[in-house]
Structure 1
Amino acid sequence: MNSEKYLLKLSNYFGLALVLASFCALFDFFVGAAEYQDVVSLGSGGGALGYGLGKLAQQFLGFWGALVALLALLTIGILLGFNTSFRAMVDRAKALGILKEKLLPSGGEEDVPEEISEEEEFSTEENSQEEVAILVHKAEASQEEVVEQAVAKKPRKIIVPLELLTYSNSKPMSGDIDANMAKIKKTLENFGIEVEMSDVNVGPTVTQYTLRPAEGVKLAHILTLQNDLALALAAHPLRIEAPIPGKSLVGIEVPNQTVSIVKLREILESDEYRKRKNNLFISLGKDVAGTPKLANLGNMPHLLIAGATGSGKSVCVNNIILSLIYENSPDELKFILVDPKRVELSVYNNIPYLLTPVINEPDKTINALRWAVSEMEQRYKLLQAANKRNLESYNSAVIVNKLPYIVIIIDELADLMQTAAKEVEGAIIRLAQMARAVGIHLVLATQRPSTNVITGLIKANITSRIAFSVASNIDSRTIIDSAGAEKLLGKGDMLFMTAELTHPGRIQGAYVSDEEISAVIDYIKSQGGEPEYDPKIVEKIGHSHGVMGSSSGGNDYEDDLTMEAKEAVIKAGKASATLLQRRLRVGYARAARLLDILEEMGVVGPGDGAKPREVLVSQDELEENFSTELDETDLGEVNDEESLLDEEDDLAEEVQARKF
């Protein structure tokens, strides 16, 4: 017996107490006052406790109201005591009904002889009873075995205790708030701007002074006085938010004299976190008013993080990973972690949340992205066969073998873009466009927010972004399409934007230390068992699988040009780059490459200075090879059609196997 599976909690004891109390009350519910002593003396009924509860309920709720209330308490007690729900009970009842149909003969009653002698009847009576008992025992045993395998399985739950994380003892100090308000108002009045000071919000990093300009004052005029306000307040850098989203106010954000550290535990214990709608929320930190801020990765559905070295980018990545680990079990969510620097994410190796060990090499990263595209296509086929729109509805329809969410985290995108920009960008764009419905999400981080790393196509498909402190407003515009990130203070100070937000919001990111990360990882390793790695993820996937589509680097186009170039040089009887440029309408570089390919194929000879190359294949050999390739193509198309039909049959069988 698994001791963790049957671990009793406080809610279980409370539910059993409700069952006991409601049972006792129902036993004595119909007993009158005159009969009470006789019932107690006989040792029957619900005793003094049941009689008292029953009469008390009737006194306040009436007869029928008390009866309904006691039955409701009994039901609630059963659900709490046995840690189940109505839905689970309905699923189990359906499963038992299906098992009954499978275990019992389909023909109903079997044909029996009409006449049986009395001797045979008496002689077989004892044996038949024993056989029936054996059959019933076997049926019950097989039923229990099938139920354990087929009824809705609870995923491997690893409940990581919050005690592994620590609190922050520091408190923010904003200085003299009244004096700062007076300085802001006086400075603006010196430049002819009348304002009315409003609320003050003290956050962990900055204090926001809000003000309402007089009618007719242009906001651009206030923005131009940013340096003058910084001089008057002796605070730098100073950021002006004009206007504050959702309010007719202007916000002036002044750095605190003492910064407060926001810890991850504070966010995970907040009411905002408890009220989350699903288990894909990530903890960001606290805003300028000190309110905990979360973000739904399922709605984003991808995230781009950029910032200079030391701005808090790596801490934010660890924060995201731990947030998802605290919400999901290893069967519900999987990670693919890419760490070219080899030191940031290696601590997460050998935990059951990983699909593959932390990837450090660029070629393995490219293979993993190709696998993700292939997995996305396979999941779409499963959803199509099951007639479902997204992964959530698909998992709710199947009982066993549910598909986990997959989060791909790349810690340094710039290193990959330098190695294989075309393939990496193509895979990222395709996943960003289509992977949301099948539960695959991207988190991309880079410390070099340049346009050759964060390309226009990547920005267009990933609308949710986090900007940490950067060197210039050009880098800020590259990340969030607006200035402001260059005025951040670093150490987790960020601007967060999504497609729903008109302006980026300022947040102080939650901090998680290396000791906290190690404590959580060690606990998971002690509770979660061995990881189940898939070696196919980092293996190279050939182009014949159709993975990567149009982002495969143009090899299909090049193959077509090679055949055309082969025909052109054989018909012309000579081969040169100028000939291929004229016949195929390509540039000189492509024509020279085609000549090199034809030389490797043995179609043309080596170059001889400025003279045309010799053609080594005749027209007859070309026609013979063409007819052979045509036959192979026809045979390949037939095989492709057969394999496609087999694949559709396999998908249908897999969907039926997942359903119960």
Structure 2
Amino acid sequence: MSLWADIKARYKITKAFRAGSIYKTIGSGENEKKILPKIHSIRTTEHSTEYVFTLPTGLNPDLLKKNYFAFQQVFGERIKLEGEFKKYVLNVYQKGADKVLIYDGNEIKKEIENLKLGVVCGKDRTGNYVAFDLLKQPHILIAGETGSGKSTQLRSILTTMILNNKPEDLQLYLGDCKKSEFHIFRKVEHVQCVLSNGKEIARMLKYIKKELDERSDLSEIFEVSHVDDLPAEHRRPYIVVCIDEFVMLRKDETVMDILTEIVAIGRTLGVFAILSMQRPNAKVLDTTIRANLTVSMGFKLRDKIEARIVNTPDAEKIDVSGRFIMNSDKHYDLQAPYLEMEEAKNLLNPFNVNKQPVKEVHEEKPKQPKLTEKDVFADVNE
């Protein structure tokens, strides 16, 4: 950073300190003196400018939260302030961060190659990917209005799982309540079923419940804390249950009870849930489910209430498709990879197989008889 740029940057943050009364006052009258936070460093990159500063001893840190608006008035809304007690880091991001992030399978593979069941979320404002292991941070909630990027994120996450895991190691059970998103996965070898009828999704979840019980029994018999530690002959594949617009199943108590059980005990049994909805509802997302959905992704939401339900503050302020707030180990402001439907089909094509019986039932097609419970999951009883 040049001397002039450094002077200009220091002037701006000092202006924010003064505008927000973020300083300690000693003395009075003509002897009054204002002690501003000490600026330790200013670093500029292609994507952002980073300010590191410390508060004067004795200054209440709550002033930063209370008068956060002063930073927004000086630097704009594309900022993030992190820290506690004394030391803080302010990042001011460039507008260039709003560019569409095209899905790149090779780049994403590098990000998750050391993870057992990797999920790439997107890039932060500094241009770095953020990824996590579903085994360590199980269960995902994705919420967002139509056109916000929620459906594309689901497509990206599921495609990435398929591309980077063997069918014998991963099974996907998909519920598509909107009947619009998951048809491209219907023939993929990893996918055990793609269902859109509420009764069939309930039947699928009963099967998952039976699998949970069996895995729990095996863990107890062999005295292990995780299914990965079972003897080789008893190993089970990871199971991911993904239901789009699961709020449509809210009236089925059995379904909601099983989903609650999956998110409560599924991690150690190798069973994970990805749930999505357009309009977060506190009655549907009760405290048990919400507490166990360890990763929340809030795309554009209608208001603060919905953002609070998903625990993704400021998601109501998002004005860019594909941008979202993620809450996991901390809060992230990310841009999701954009994966077009046709590109996803091309990537999935090598994994497509002909399957019998047909996995998805369309009641409107009389030529294709509706599968009975016995046909789909023969060992699951009502």
Q: Among residues 424, 440, 446, which one is paired with 2:255 in the alignment?
A: 424
User: What is the Cα deviation at residue 317 of structure 1?
Assistant: 1.0
Change (3 A) 1:255 1:340: farther
2:186 equivalent to 1:359: no
What is the correspondence of 1:35-184 to structure 2 with a 5 Å cutoff? Answer: 182-184=11-13
Q: TM-score, normalised by structure 1?
A: 0.48
Counterpart of 1:262 in structure 2 is 101
Instruction: Give the aligned partner of residue 248 of structure 2.
Output: 415
Q: Hey, what does 1:397 align to over in structure 2? A: 232
Matched residues in 1 for 2:84 and 2:301: separation? 23
Change (3 A) 1:416 1:385: same
Q: Is the 8 A contact 2:212 2:269 kept in 1?
A: yes
Could you tell me which runs of 5 or more consecutive residues in structure 2 were left unpaired when the two chains were aligned. Answer: 23-35, 360-372
Which string of whole-angstrom CA distances, capped at 9 and with x for unpartnered residues, describes residues 168-188 of structure 1? xxxxxxxx9985664343232
Q: Which runs of 5 or more structure 1 residues have no equivalent in the other structure?
A: 1-175, 544-660
Shift of 1:458: 0.8
Is the alpha carbon distance of 1:424 and 1:257 closer, same or farther for their aligned partners in structure 2, counting shifts above 3 Å? same
* Cα 1:434–1:212 shift into 2, 3 Å: same
Identity of aligned pairs, percent? 21
Are residues 1:341 and 2:178 paired? Answer: yes
Query: 1:576-597 CA distances to partner (integer Å, 9 max, x unpaired)?
Result: xxxxxxxxxxxxxxxxxxxxxx
Distance 1:425 1:268, change over 3 A: same
Aligned equivalents of 2:99 and 2:171: distance in 1? 33
How far apart are 1:439 and its partner, in Å? 1.5
| Cα shift at 1:307 | 2.3
In the alignment, which residue of structure 1 is the partner of 2:27? none
How big is the shift at 1:377? 0.8
**Secondary structure at 1:249 match in 2:** strand
1:385 CA displacement: 4.2
Q: How far apart, in 2, do the equivalents of 1:342 and 1:177 lie?
A: 55
Matched residue of 2:216: which SS? Answer: helix
Matches for 1:455-534 after TM superposition, within 5 Å? 455-480=286-311, 483-498=313-328, 501=329, 503-525=330-352, 529-531=353-355
Q: After the TM superposition, which residues 170-569 of structure 1 pair with which residues of structure 2 at under 5 Å, given as runs?
A: 182-193=11-22, 194-195=36-37, 196=39, 198-200=41-43, 207=48, 209-215=50-56, 216-233=58-75, 235=76, 237-243=77-83, 248-254=87-93, 256-257=95-96, 259-265=98-104, 267-270=107-110, 272-274=111-113, 276-278=114-116, 280-356=117-193, 358-394=194-230, 397-398=232-233, 402-417=235-250, 419-420=251-252, 422-480=253-311, 483-498=313-328, 501=329, 503-525=330-352, 529-531=353-355, 537=376, 541-543=380-382
The amino acid that maps onto 2:198 is P
**What letter corresponds to residue 488 of structure 1 in structure 2?**
I
Residue 282 of structure 1, CA deviation: 0.9
Q: Following TM superposition, by how much is the alpha carbon of 1:345 offset from its aligned partner in structure 2, in angstroms?
A: 1.2
Taking the aligned partners of 2:266 and 2:321, their CA distance within structure 1 comes to 32
Secondary structure in structure 1 of the residue aligned to 2:157? helix
Instruction: Give the corresponding residue for 1:144.
Output: none
Q: Is the 8 A contact 1:308 1:471 kept in 2?
A: yes
Indicate the SS of the match to 1:282.
strand
In 1, Cα distance between equivalents of 2:18 and 2:195: 58
Q: Cα distance 1:179–1:530, how it changes in 2: closer, same or farther (>3 A)? A: farther
Conserved 8 A contact 1:264-1:285? no
* 1:407-442 CA distance string (max 9 Å, x none): 10011122222x42x222211111122222222111
CA shift, 1:538, in A, is: 6.0
Q: Are 2:228 and 2:235, in contact at CA under 8 Å, matched by a contact in 1?
A: no
Question: Can you list the C-alpha shifts for 1:78-127, whole angstroms capped at 9, x where unaligned?
Answer: xxxxxxxxxxxxxxxxxxxxxxxxxxxxxxxxxxxxxxxxxxxxxxxxxx
Question: By how many angstroms is 1:359 displaced?
Answer: 0.9
CA–CA distance in structure 2, aligned partners of residues 439 and 269 of structure 1 = 22
Q: Secondary structure at the match of 2:98?
A: coil
**1:585 corresponding residue in structure 2:** none
- 2:53 counterpart letter in structure 1: R
Q: RMSD in angstroms over aligned alpha carbons?
A: 3.1
In 2: Cα distance, 1:436 partner to 1:493 partner: 28
Does the residue aligned with 2:269 lie in a helix, a strand or coil? coil
On the 8 A contact 2:163/2:348 being kept in 1, the answer is no
For 2:83, the aligned partner's letter is P
Post-superposition offset of 1:326: 1.9
Cα offset, 1:208, TM superposition:
5.6
SS at 1:183 equivalent: helix
Alignment length (residue pairs) = 347
- Structure 1 Cα separation of the partners of residues 171 and 355 of structure 2: 11
Residues 1:323 and 1:329: Cα distance change in structure 2 (over 3 Å): same
Q: What is the CA-CA distance between 1:321 and the residue it aligns to?
A: 0.7
SS in 1 for 2:127: coil
Letter matched to residue 354 of structure 2: E
Alpha-carbon offset, residue 449 of structure 1 = 1.3
CA positional deviation for 1:343? 1.3
Residues 242 and 273, structure 2, Cα contact 8 Å, conserved in 1 = yes
Where 1:289 maps in the other structure, the secondary structure is coil
Instruction: Identify if the C-alpha distance between structure 1 residues 182 and 516 changes in structure 2 by more than 3 Å, giving closer, same or farther.
Output: farther
The 1:277–1:539 alpha-carbon spacing in structure 2 relative to 1, beyond 3 Å, is same
Other structure's SS at 2:191 match: coil
1:200 Cα deviation after fit: 4.4
More helix by share: 1
- Select the structure that is richer in strand: 2
Change (3 A) 1:296 1:334: same
Asked if 2 retains the 8 angstrom alpha-carbon contact of 1:337 and 1:359, the reply is: yes
Q: Which has the larger radius of gyration?
A: 1
Structure with greater contact order relative to length (CA < 8 Å, sep ≥ 6): 2
CA contact (8 A) 1:339 1:410 kept: yes
Call closer, same or farther: CA 1:324–1:258 in 2, change over 3 Å.
closer
Residues 219 and 242 in structure 1, CA contact (< 8 A), matched pair in contact too: no
Contact 1:331 1:404 in 2 (8 A): yes
Equivalent-residue separation in structure 1 for 2:303 and 2:381 (angstroms): 42
CA contact (8 A) 1:208 1:288 kept: no
Cα 1:416–1:429 change in 2 (3 A) is same
